[in-house]
A = this chain, B = another copy of it.
């Protein structure tokens, strides 16, 4: 059989199955797509595809459905990106309007993306490797408690309450504040771990231990404010898309709730700077997502946006949406 037709058949199977949710047979296939051959020929081709592990039959006399491997081939070699509809473009454009508040933008982004794709949308907070320290504030909350605030020039704000271990005088705090501020303002967040110890060393010995504690606080803020959070929307789509399909939704919700899992997942996906990356079914490192696929891509300076949905999803459209949204996001955030 001809190689191109084989791929064409796989493509037809994937598209029909995604759209109908039902195993697709040889006859239906030859009717819906005008391949120039008969159903018998298709059957032969399908037998080959099955041998290669690209499709499978749920039971003897049913049609075929694509396997993870089949989707993989489809995504890698067959599908072409679908252009977005005018309405979709418009929706994305409207992201450009409104306040430039990072939080706001990300929130609108996930909402939009989840509506666009009918899947769960996820976005990682922007990496701010290049972000600089703009301001540092120590606020005394209680005799032994200090609120540490770190403001970056990107507008991201980190906060953390730390326990000093002993009473803190206001004067000491003021002194340390100006000492820290003077020495780290303008520094890249990413460099804080290297810079902070020297600042501590410069402090008067009797304040050394407090300074050390504060420095730790700042450092952990520089970590977390950098990339360690995600935002998501559209979890209800999980229930909707599986209304007559028993994808076990429980494990997926669990995974989504564990930010650690999701962060891991996103960063494990290569960040091909131009295209989107797809992780299909069992390719996925987390067991609970064995029946799910993730479509993601980087934006700005390396953080990820993406969606999560059932393996049976419309990859071309979804990939187009993710890519488009990522591009706009990069533009807005000036990545």
Q: What residues of chain A have their CB less than 8 Å away from a CB belonging to chain B?
A: 99-103, 134-135, 137, 139, 141, 145, 147, 149, 151, 153-155, 157, 159-163, 233-236, 238-240, 243, 248-251, 253-254, 256-257
Contacts and interface: CB of A to CB of B under 8 A. Distances in A.
B236 A161 contact: no
A254 B256 CA distance: 15
Contacts of A145: 100, 155
Given A239-B249, A251-B236, A155 B151 contact: no
B137 A99 contact: no
A253 B234 CA distance: 8
A163 B234 CA distance: 30
A115 to B, nearest CB: 12
Contacts of A151: 137, 139, 147, 149
A239 B236 CA distance: 12
A157 B156 CA distance: 12
7 contacts: A99-B162, A100-B163, A139-B153, A149-B157, A155-B159, A157-B157, A235-B256
B249 A233 contact: no
Contacts of A155: 139, 141, 145, 147, 159, 161
B239 A250 contact: yes
Nearest to A334: B142
A139 B132 CA distance: 13
B101 A160 contact: yes
B159 A141 contact: no
A162 B103 CA distance: 12
A323 B154 CA distance: 41
Contacts of A153: 139, 141
Nearest to A288: B236
A251 B238 CA distance: 11
Contacts of A256: 235
A159 B161 contact: no
A167 to B, nearest CB: 16
A129 B164 CA distance: 27
A251 B250 CA distance: 16
Nearest to A243: B250
B141 A99 contact: no
A54 to B, nearest CB: 31
A141 B333 CA distance: 12
A79 to B, nearest CB: 29
Contacts of A238: 253
Contacts of A157: 147, 149, 157, 159
Nearest to A134: B139
Contacts of A257: 233-236
A159 B149 CA distance: 11
A166 to B, nearest CB: 15
Contacts of A235: 235, 253, 256-257
A334 to B, nearest CB: 9
A254 B235 CA distance: 8
Given A99-B163, A135-B139, 15 more contacts: A99-B160, A99-B161, A100-B145, A134-B139, A135-B137, A137-B137, A137-B149, A141-B153, A141-B155, A149-B149, A149-B151, A157-B157, A235-B253, A236-B257, A240-B250
